[in-house]
Structure 1
Amino acid sequence: MLSYQHAFHAGNHADVIKHLCWLGVINALKKKDKPFTLYDSHAGAGCYDLADAMSTKNKEYESGISRFMDADVRQPLLNDYLALCHDFLSLNHYPGSPVISAQAKRDSDVLHLMELHPAEFNKLNSYIGKLRKPNSHVHKRDGYEGLRALTPPKPNRGAILIDPPYEKASEYLDVVKGIQSVFKRWQQAQIVVWYPLLSERAGAKHGASESMCDKLAELGTPCFKAEICVSQNTTDAGMYGSGVLVLNPPWQLDQQLSDVLNEITPLMGESASSSLQWLNQDN
């Protein structure tokens, strides 16, 4: 489970939908002056060099952010995302969720980043230190254990990003158990869960994301899922797309994401498609 290196996938379609959604959550929290706390359970290295050996192996960013990074975009959330990424992309780097969180939050807001992989943790700790963002904490610990120990925050405002590698089929159930544990102590938590969409080639993991989303919806919390697919779901397609499930989403995030997906999906290739569906409607 500690073999995963996100650099192979930096800036791909999965990062695009995940980071757009996460930035939308942070933007909503910033509408009030009261400080908040952000948690990233599987933080990774923080920032990725798109010219290094891992990123250039498959060049997944070419089917992701590269498709629209120079486009004349209209949607405010998409503009915010590209503006945050701009300085990094100009250096041929891509900011991961820890850097997006650190750059987007205010000095009074708190950030907890958790990463267990030794090499990834060292990179993350070094990079976040160089950013010199107040109240940013890096933890070498299991993400779910960290969430149990560090939630709920004071004041009781904030959000969690859960983005596991899903190397093992059991990780899907780990997500459900982790969120159940959080909600026992912090029912107001806004939680973003990223998940892959996998074809039959994935074996036991085929359909696991869909099952996980169903189990999370059974918790009864208001939630929606947004998905983007970049290829057809054929038998041997592998990861043909990905999605985010948002529990306790902020007001109008669904509309913002729909508008952004409608704008970028036509730029992601002839086979690209996207959707947004409420599983438990917010009352």
Structure 2
Amino acid sequence: MLSYQHRYHVGNHGDVLKHLSWVSVIQYLNEKDKPYALIDSHAGEGVYSHELDEAHESNQGVDLLNSVNASSGDVSTYLSILNKFKNNNQLPGSPAVAAELMREYDEMHCIELHPQANQLLKQFVKSSNMRISCHKRDAFEGLKALVPPKLKRGAVLIDPPYEQLQEYQLVKETITEVTKRWPNGQLLVWIPLLGRRSPQKGKAAEALIHSLQQLKTEKCDVVTCKLSTKEKTAQEGMYGSALIAINASWKFKESMSKSLSCASDIMGPLYTWSVE
């Protein structure tokens, strides 16, 4: 599992969906003066060089968003963050997106087990001047240990690499435990949508999406957001992704509908979206 590094996929359309969701949740938390805690379960390096050969997937995602006027407030916010890092030839990961939006009295816990990524994450954390803790430990074990945080308001972003088939079951089991320990926390769970080239993982992903949707109750709203290419082929790997928001705020569904409509219009006719 330590062979995965997000630098090989940074900035792709999966990041667009994930980061827009992260922006929406944090902006909502910022509406109150009360502090909050954020947890990023698979934090990666924090920031990435845009000049890396590995960052070529950004031309299928964030590069399509740059230098275009956006009508959605959250897309505009995300664009301003992208452009700030672009000026330094960098691409922001989810910890960097959060660090740009959180306030000095909020806090974030970033979990990353990969040695190289963890070392680079520590460098980012040190340079951010925000209240961010870096944890070198297994994401699923660490996430359960960190909830509930001392600050009762907050959110979790869960985006495993899903390299191993058993990760889909680990996500389900971890979320069951996290929701018990922190019933007020908002959970964002990123899940890849996979083509025929990965039939077993594709079925596991669809099963995970379905099982998380069943968590919806009168007290716990669950929103499913998707961003993908319009055409799937037999040779495709990840053609899109889903973001399941558990215990979503009352504003989340509307804000993501506006964001994904705006983003897909900018990215072009090959992309489609849904929020339900």
TM-score, normalised to structure 1's length?
A: 0.93
CA distance in 2, matches of 1:229, 1:7: 20
Match of 2:147 among 144, 148, 151: 151
Q: Who is 1:268 aligned against?
A: 267
Q: Who is 1:213 aligned against?
A: 209
What is the 5 A alignment of 1:105-254? 105-133=102-130, 135-220=131-216, 221-254=220-253
CA distance in 1, matches of 2:132, 2:248: 23
Give 1:84 deviation, angstroms.
1.8
Q: Who is 1:281 aligned against?
A: none
Residue 54 of structure 1 aligns to a residue in which SS? helix
CA distance in 1, matches of 2:240, 2:52: 24
CA contact (8 A) 2:191 2:209 kept: no
Residue 207 of structure 1 aligns to a residue in which SS? helix
Match of 1:87 among 72, 79, 84: 84
Residue 68 of structure 2 aligns to a residue in which SS? coil
One-letter amino acid of the counterpart of residue 211, structure 2? K
- CA deviations 1:137-165 (Å, max 9, x no partner) are 00001112122211112231110000100
> Percent identity, aligned pairs only?
38
CA distance in 2, matches of 1:44, 1:219: 28
CA distance in 2, matches of 1:231, 1:218: 26
CA contact (8 A) 1:227 1:274 kept: yes
Give 1:231 deviation, angstroms.
4.4
CA distance in 2, matches of 1:153, 1:128: 19
Give 1:35 deviation, angstroms.
0.5
CA distance in 1, matches of 2:69, 2:156: 31
Residue 198 of structure 2 aligns to a residue in which SS? helix
CA contact (8 A) 2:65 2:79 kept: no
Give 1:34 deviation, angstroms.
0.8
CA contact (8 A) 1:88 1:94 kept: yes
Residue 152 of structure 1 aligns to a residue in which SS? coil
CA distance in 1, matches of 2:180, 2:84: 40
CA contact (8 A) 1:25 1:253 kept: yes
**C-alpha RMSD over aligned residues:** 1.2
Q: Which runs of 4+ in 1 moved over 2 A?
A: 217-221, 266-271
CA distance in 1, matches of 2:105, 2:168: 34
TM-score, normalised to structure 2's length?
A: 0.95
- CA deviations 1:7-59 (Å, max 9, x no partner) are 1111111101100100110110111111100000110011111111322xxx1
Matched residues, number: 273
Give the unaligned 5+ runs of structure 2.
Answer: none
Q: Who is 1:102 aligned against?
A: 99
CA distance in 2, matches of 1:217, 1:10: 27
Q: Who is 1:4 aligned against?
A: 4
CA distance in 2, matches of 1:267, 1:106: 30
One-letter amino acid of the counterpart of residue 255, structure 2? Q
